């Protein structure tokens, strides 16, 4: 096994149905969050963790993704002539961030299928997976911690977040391995609690959920996952689920290295979900160096007008 991870796979071929009609002609990953498309935060996060060989798994309608990370000479020339250095830097930066490769998924048969499509590019190396519609505040730090845990344990690593029990049915959920009734934890620093995982289940009913530790969109996987995915049948929703393949990695810890879950306690946004998307915009705008102060003042004055305002139907 090679533990030095350099490659990341970014699945971005989902249909984005929760955000229709906005995502009818524009991929959800291209919806802007403050001043850049959601996908750029994900690419920047991978780069912060020193992953610079990126494979984006895309589908139809997704050419704007490729355009965003490409050079636009005419635009650059125009900005240069105007002497608009800051915008020129911002435009150039997107094409210089990383070495981005693209692959079409074909039929969107599920996240597991999208990851399987990366097999040839990744080869026999461990690799990271970053979901293209998940923005994680300080995600670079989380990813670095996951890579360290992978190196230390040889396991595949998944990021989880504690969620209220009534929300577990929206996520994949992990079952921590128990020793004498307590989760088997891995010695790491207090900021990043990590536990060995016995099982993973996709979108369980709250009464059947093994814990409230919900999988969020960051993984470091051993290459053996490809062999498992090749024979993983469609699961929940008729899709090939990455969670189902990881269940086998967890169950065969001796041979396949097992699975470790690291608990993330920071802010994370699923930008394919309307409410989370709005939260991402408001919270990141409030922290933005250029407009943050204005936004914070406006939020405070707007909040004071919000008493009993009726919902608008459009």
Binding site for ligand UTP (CB under 6 A): 11-18, 57, 105, 108-111, 113-114, 131-133, 272
Please say which residue, 37 or 258, places its beta carbon nearer to ligand UTP: 37
Judge contact between 19 and 277, C-beta under 8 A.
Answer: yes
Give the whole-angstrom CA distance, residue 130 versus residue 313.
35
Among 75, 121, 74, 68, which residue's Cα sits nearest to residue 96?
A: 68
Q: How far is the CB of 119 from ligand UTP (least distance, A)?
A: 15
Secondary structure string (H, E, C) spanning 7-28 = EEEEECCCCCHHHCCCCCCCCH
Please say which residue, 192 or 219, places its beta carbon nearer to ligand UTP: 219
Among 229, 199, 274, 223, which residue's Cα sits nearest to residue 110?
A: 229
Please say which residue, 156 or 243, places its beta carbon nearer to ligand UTP: 243
What tokens appear for 216 in the block?
A: 């969020």
Give the whole-angstrom CA distance, residue 239 versus residue 115.
12
The dihedral of CA 121, 124, 125, 126: what is its sign?
A: positive
Q: How far is the CB of 180 from ligand UTP (least distance, A)?
A: 36
Q: Which residue is nearest to ligand UTP (CB)?
A: 14
Please say which residue, 110 or 199, places its beta carbon nearer to ligand UTP: 110
Please say which residue, 257 or 272, places its beta carbon nearer to ligand UTP: 272
DSSP state of 188: -
Q: How far is the CB of 61 from ligand UTP (least distance, A)?
A: 11
Please say which residue, 131 or 186, places its beta carbon nearer to ligand UTP: 131
Q: How far is the CB of 163 from ligand UTP (least distance, A)?
A: 16
Burial of 169 (C-beta count, 10 Å sphere; 0-12/13-18/19+): middle
Please say which residue, 128 or 186, places its beta carbon nearer to ligand UTP: 128
Listed in sequence order, the residues at least 6 apart from 26 whose beta carbon sits closer than 8 Å to its beta carbon are 61, 64
Q: How far is the CB of 23 from ligand UTP (least distance, A)?
A: 8
Q: How far is the CB of 7 from ligand UTP (least distance, A)?
A: 17
Burial of 219-247, coded b for 16+ CB within 10 Å and e otherwise, reads bbbbbbbbebbeebeebeeebbbbbbbbb
Q: How far is the CB of 13 from ligand UTP (least distance, A)?
A: 3
Q: How far is the CB of 265 from ligand UTP (least distance, A)?
A: 22
Please say which residue, 231 or 309, places its beta carbon nearer to ligand UTP: 231
Residues in the chain: 314
């Amino acid at each position: 096994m090679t533990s030095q991870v350099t490659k990341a796979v970014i699945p971005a071929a989902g249909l984005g149905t929760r955000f229709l009609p906005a995502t009818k002609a524009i991929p959800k990953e291209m919806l802007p969050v403050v001043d850049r498309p959601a996908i750029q935060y994900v690419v920047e996060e991978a780069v912060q963790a020193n992953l610079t060989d990126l494979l984006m798994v895309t589908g139809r309608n997704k050419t704007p993704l490729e355009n965003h990370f490409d050079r636009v000479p005419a635009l650059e020339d125009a900005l240069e002539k105007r002497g608009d250095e800051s915008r020129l830097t911002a435009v150039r930066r997107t094409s210089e961030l990383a070495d981005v490769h693209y692959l079409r998924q074909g039929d969107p048969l599920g996240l597991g299928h999208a990851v399987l499509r990366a097999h040839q590019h990744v080869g026999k190396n461990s690799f990271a997976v970053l979901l293209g519609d998940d923005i994680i505040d300080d995600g670079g730090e989380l990813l670095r911690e996951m890579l360290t845990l992978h190196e230390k344990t040889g396991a595949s690593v998944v990021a989880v977040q504690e969620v209220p029990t009534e929300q577990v049915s929206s996520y994949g959920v992990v079952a921590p391995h128990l020793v004498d009734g307590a989760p088997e934890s891995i010695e790491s620093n207090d900021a990043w609690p990590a536990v060995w995982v016995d099982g993973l289940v996709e979108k369980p009913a709250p009464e059947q959920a093994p814990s409230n530790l919900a999988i969020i969109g960051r993984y470091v996987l051993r290459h053996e996952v490809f062999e498992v995915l090749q024979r993983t049948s469609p699961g929940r929703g008729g899709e090939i689920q990455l969670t189902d393949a990881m269940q086998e990695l967890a169950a065969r810890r001796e041979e396949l290295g097992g699975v470790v879950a690291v608990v993330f306690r920071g802010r994370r946004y699923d930008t394919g979900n309307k409410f989370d998307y709005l939260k991402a915009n408001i919270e990141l705008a409030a922290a933005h160096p250029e407009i943050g102060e204005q936004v914070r003042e406006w939020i405070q004055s707007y909040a004071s007008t919000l008493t009993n305002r009726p919902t608008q139907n459009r």
